């Protein structure tokens, strides 16, 4: 049992060292704005379809399942509040983060890992280009900018889809649905979604870029690193989500009193 524990501690140390290098790059390194814009397009713009579809159908199925349960209590009009709070506080940030881990995190790891095993990173160093400045920092900045916008889209489309399901499929009054949604959704829910999303975005970049920078043994190593990046990022999101939920609900309690 000691070997896995030591390996895990070593892994955390490597992530901490990478974090230090990124902070140093942000403060002292050369900012490559063109690369950052390219990453904004890749991470933010091109991730919109999968995030929107995910958010819409999660909101729809959450509304349907919630209404099946609430109908027995004659509280169908509360379905909008249920979906709104759930999408903003939990499902929106978490599912968006997991989708980005699969789509963007795996791509980051594969791209950087391929550069590592083909010695392109060594070539960057020979040209006095710091790999962190060139490969990691632009991705981190782009992720921090993109994730809040993507979470907003996912939550908005999820809430809109739940409105369609609730009012058009289950026949709930549009006025009561909208009223309860507005009453039980406040700025605290939005703050939680944005804070969680930012944390998840940083985790994805750290874990994925680390796997790419540590890739070895050719194509096999790149494939293994890509798989680890996606799995580790998803697990980190789920684990951190629990602790962030416990912490955020202390500072931003659910305003069910209206």
Inside any domain, residue 22: no
Which SS3 state, helix, strand or coil, does residue 143 take?
Answer: helix
Inside any domain, residue 87: yes
Supply the pLDDT for residue 150.
94
Inside any domain, residue 28: no
Full domain range(s) for residue 199 = 50-251
Inside any domain, residue 77: yes
Inside any domain, residue 30: no
Supply the pLDDT for residue 254.
64
Inside any domain, residue 114: yes
Alpha-carbon Rg for the chain, nearest whole angstrom, is: 21
Inside any domain, residue 170: yes
Inside any domain, residue 8: no
Report DSSP letters for 14-40, one per residue. Answer: HHHHHHHHHHHHHHHSPP-HHHHHHHI
Per-residue pLDDT 10s for the chain (258 aa) are 788 889 889 999 999 999 999 999 998 888 888 889 999 999 999 999 999 999 999 999 999 998 888 877 777 788 888 899 999 999 999 999 999 999 999 999 999 999 999 989 989 888 888 899 999 999 999 999 999 999 999 999 999 999 999 989 888 888 888 888 888 888 889 999 999 999 999 999 999 999 999 988 888 889 999 999 999 999 999 999 999 999 988 887 765 434
What gap in Å lies between CA 23 and CA 43, rounded to an integer?
A: 21
User: Are 67 and 79 spatial neighbours (Cβ–Cβ below 8 Å)?
Assistant: yes
Supply the pLDDT for residue 39.
93
Supply the pLDDT for residue 258.
40
Which SS3 state, helix, strand or coil, does residue 127 take?
Answer: coil
Domain count, the chain: 1
């Amino acid at each position: 049992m000691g070997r896995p524990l030591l390996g895990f501690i070593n892994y955390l140390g490597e992530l901490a060292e990478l974090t230090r290098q990124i902070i140093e790059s942000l403060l002292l390194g050369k900012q490559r704005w063109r690369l950052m814009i390219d990453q904004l397009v890749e991470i933010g713009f091109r991730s919109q379809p999968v995030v929107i579809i995910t958010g819409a159908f999660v909101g729809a199925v959450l509304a349907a399942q919630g209404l099946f349960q609430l109908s027995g209590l004659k509280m169908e009009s509360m379905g909008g509040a249920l979906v709104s709070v759930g999408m903003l506080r939990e499902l929106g940030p978490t599912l968006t983060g997991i989708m980005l881990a699969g789509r963007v995190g795996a791509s980051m790891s594969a791209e950087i890992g391929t550069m590592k095993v083909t010695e392109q990173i060594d070539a960057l160093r020979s040209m006095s280009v710091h790999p962190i400045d060139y490969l990691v920092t632009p991705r981190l900045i782009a992720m921090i900018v993109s994730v809040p916008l993507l979470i907003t889209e996912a939550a908005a489309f999820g809430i809109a889809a739940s409105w369609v399901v609730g009012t058009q499929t289950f026949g709930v009054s549009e006025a009561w649905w909208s009223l309860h949604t507005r009453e039980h959704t406040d700025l605290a829910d939005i703050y939680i979604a944005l804070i969680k999303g930012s944390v998840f975005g940083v985790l994805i970049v750290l874990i994925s870029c680390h796997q790419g920078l540590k890739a070895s043994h050719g194509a096999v190593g790149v494939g293994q690193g890509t798989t680890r990046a996606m799995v580790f990022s998803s697990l980190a999101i789920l684990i951190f989500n629990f602790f962030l939920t416990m912490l955020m609900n202390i500072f931003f309690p659910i305003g069910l009193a209206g």
